[in-house]
A and B are shown apart, each in its own frame.
Chain A
Amino acid sequence: MNTNKNSYTLIYATVMVIIVALMLALVSSSLKGIQTANVELDKKKQILSSLNVNFEGQDAAAVYDKYIGTELVINSNAEVLSEVKGDAFKLDYIKELAKPIQERKLPLYIAQIEGETKYIIPLRGAGLWGPIWGYIALNEDKNTVYGSFYSHASETPGLGAEIAQTSFQQKFVGKSIFNDKEEFVSIAVMKPGQVAENQDQVDGISGGTITSKGVEKMLLSCIGQYEAYLKKSNGGTEE
């Protein structure tokens, strides 16, 4: 057969593209259900990681249901929009972050651990190569950090990717996001040796400065959206 004819080439290319497209569509649609379930389970695991909960060898979904008692959808003025469990979890956070701040619907997870309330705020930001994200859990005082979890899509292994290590995440425990004057200042991630003024700080990763600073910006902008909610009940209980 003459495989150099134009008609042959055209037909060959068309048939090949159709077969490959059909195959990929088939694989993608048949695996979609399992993949979505995996993504949801992974999200629950990430939230649990920010609470320092060990779910190794257990059904993470059951552990999640045990600890996370309340899921709230709030706005930046601290008004609660929904208390139905599942609403906050299904919220597309990335889409909400693209809206102006007054219109955003913000998910907030509230956990009960050993009788104490913990508030978990989802984080989303940019690293050096791609998105970074995480969850930060605050103590009952809505000020000090109980635990944190960070992950990334494509940071450099050995450098920026180290934000996903527990050794880095543990550094945040006990830090305050409000300063002495009750102003929201977030937590700074500094090069080792440098000092941030007027706010708590942790050491960044050597060689991963842009990713470290990305974590700092992510904390500032994401926790900042919840400022009204965190402040509101803070003042109320202290008086």
Chain B
Amino acid sequence: MSKLISDKTKAVFLGPLSKNNPITVQVLGICSALAVTAKLEPALVMGLSVTIIVAFSNVIISLLRNTIPNRIRIIVQLVVVAALVTIVSEILKAFAYDVSVQLSVYIGLIITNCILMGRLEAFAMGNKPWESFVDGLGNGFGYAWILVVVAFFRELFGSGSLFGFQVIPQALYDAGYVNNGLMILPPMALILVACIIWVHRSRNKELQEK
């Protein structure tokens, strides 16, 4: 059992949360980070869906890793991801219809997320299933927390609400406060991600390029 919480596994899980974050350090998955962060709820759901899909496709690819012909490995990875996403989407449609209606756009976006292919190619192809599963979880959460932070600021200043609930009091609006329209437009997500990268790098000097 000591294998389950070995130092390496711990590093595999914690790395992507900070020093090797898929968004702020590897700059992967930016497109979806722009698309789903205008509101907190879709950002959270997208983060969770990606986490689940990365973790499980990592496990499947890791189990198959010694049998996959080198020349078609990318295709095999793509087929596994696409099949997994399709099955999840079908199951949601049957048993959680309301959620699937809300997620309609994002489910498709999961397949195109660079983090998936990146992790499959860089990690799952060369590591055992358990480590791959942990790596998937780590990267998924690393992706999710950035999304949630960006969405928090965009929804708060763009719509004056959090999870759809009004948090900025009406009195403030009456006093002349206005929601910032730029916040809900996609460019603001880029600017916020850049701010996070800035803070992140100034706190971790070793990440700065010379």
Contacts and interface: CB of A to CB of B under 8 A. Distances in A.
Contacts of A207: 181, 184-185
Contact of B90 (A3, A31, A41): A31
Contacts of B25: none
Contacts of A23: 83, 87
Contact of A16 (B70, B79, B93, B159): B79
A47 to B, nearest CB: 16
A42 B98 CA distance: 9
Interface residues of A, number: 28
Interface in B68-105: 68-72, 75-76, 79, 83, 86-87, 90-91, 93-95, 97, 101, 104-105
User: What's the dominant secondary structure at chain A's contact region?
Assistant: helix
A158 B95 contact: no
B207 to A, nearest CB: 31
Interface residues of B, number: 33
B18 to A, nearest CB: 28
Contacts, number: 76
B158 interface: yes
Interface of B: 36, 38-39, 42, 66-72, 75-76, 79, 83, 86-87, 90-91, 93-95, 97, 101, 104-105, 154-155, 158-159, 181, 184-185
B97 A157 contact: no
A62 interface: no
A213 B39 CA distance: 23
B70 A4 contact: yes
B83 A3 contact: no
A88 to B, nearest CB: 22
Interface string A14-39: 00110010011001100100110011
A8 interface: yes
Given A27-B87, A31-B90, A31-B91, A159 B76 contact: no
